A = this chain, B = another copy of it.
Amino acid sequence: MLRLATPGYLRFHQATEFEASFGGGESNVAVSLANYGIDVDFVTRLPKNDMGDAVLKTLRKYNVGTSKIIFGGERLGIYFLESGAVSRASKVIYDRAHSSISEIELDMINWDDVFKDATWFHWTGITPAISQNAADVLKIAIAKANEKGITVSTDLNYRKNLWKYGKTVQEVMPELVAGCDIVLGNEEDAEKALGIVPEGVDITGGKVEAAAYESVSKQIMKKFPRVKKVITTLRGSISASHNSWAGFLYNGIQSFVSPTYQITHIVDRVGGGDSFMGGLIYGLLTYDDDEKALNFAVAASNLKHTIKGDFNLVTVEEVEKLMGGDASGRVSR
């Protein structure tokens, strides 16, 4: 997806140029994983034109495998981003209807080939929100992954401005989540996508109330027995420039609450959730410790807020330094 952002806090109509980069839920996770040294492929459908080619070049730059991408369709999805500050929220305008991925057909991807040698499949709630076709293809992929014993993770990622093709999110998502082993979301996602209400949680105040998150996690696990871990991102929106940031993980046995970071001078918060997921998958694959995986995910995504663009361009060393408690930002020289 092409991201077109106004520079320097300009409003859309003030801009005479847009900063151009590429991003989007699943590709953001893929880039995180590649940065951490994980072997990863991105599967999607791109238009066969210079825009699709630029996406390819970008993914290759960040060492994401591109051999499973297919080509065709009309256009690359776009989103426009206006950067907010303090009391003025950032604004996103989606222009992704009729993108190549939204018009994918059932038999275009051979999932047996794609999943050959794969051990993990990650998808987000953006994909089934785009079109019936995308949701249908995703359903097939999840079933195939389940069949092959591949770990399936999802980020619920509810976006009210998508979901325009006639189905509601709750008609589509539960069936897909049923095939997942790992579920990530925030409080709003669980409620909107799955109808599961976080109790006693003030979503703008940013306070962490572990009991409430555990209750939501347990409801999810009960409703979707395959789910083994539920993770919640905890964003406290003090303002568009200052957020608190933490995470919660429940694995059916134990709950973990990460440290809470104050992100006092946000550079770019888009992709924050994706960078959390990328960190989480890395942590779960690398450490044999759910709490450490959670803390890696939170530290990684804290750093994302200091980086321009959708991608979280940090190294394992940088994340581990922050996990270790050094948030002092002293010049490295």
Give residues in A with beta carbon < 8 Å to B: 4, 7-21, 49-51, 53-54, 57-58, 60-63, 74-76, 78, 80, 82, 84-95, 97-98, 159, 161, 204, 237-242, 261, 263-267, 269-270, 302-303, 305-309, 313-314, 318, 322, 326-333
Contacts and interface: CB of A to CB of B under 8 A. Distances in A.
Contact of A75 (B20, B95, B318): B95
A303 B11 contact: no
A89 B17 CA distance: 23
B306 A9 contact: yes
Contacts of A63: 60
B92 A54 contact: no
A57 B269 CA distance: 24
A308 B11 CA distance: 9
A133 B303 CA distance: 41
Contacts of A237: 328-330
28 contacts: A8-B308, A13-B313, A16-B16, A50-B93, A51-B80, A57-B62, A58-B61, A74-B97, A75-B95, A76-B95, A84-B306, A85-B265, A85-B267, A85-B329, A86-B267, A86-B327, A86-B329, A87-B322, A89-B328, A89-B330, A89-B332, A97-B98, A204-B328, A238-B328, A239-B264, A239-B265, A239-B328, A240-B330
A62 to B, nearest CB: 7
Contacts of A12: 50-51, 53-54
A273 to B, nearest CB: 11
Contact of A333 (B10, B58, B91, B239): B91
A78 B314 CA distance: 24
Contacts of A306: 9, 84-88, 240
Contacts of A330: 89, 204, 237, 240
A333 B161 contact: yes
B332 A91 contact: yes
Contact of A267 (B9, B19, B50, B90): B9
Given A16-B20, A87-B303, A269-B331, 5 more contacts: A4-B18, A17-B18, A75-B97, A238-B328, A239-B264
A320 B25 CA distance: 32
A206 B204 CA distance: 27
B302 A87 contact: yes
A2 B63 CA distance: 21
A21 B13 contact: no
A48 B73 CA distance: 26
A192 B241 CA distance: 36
Contact of A329 (B10, B17, B90, B332): B90
Nearest to A160: B333
Given A16-B20, A20-B15, A87 B9 contact: no
3 smallest beta-carbon distances between A and B, as pairs = A240-B329, A92-B333, A237-B328
Contact of A54 (B13, B50, B329): B13
Nearest to A330: B237
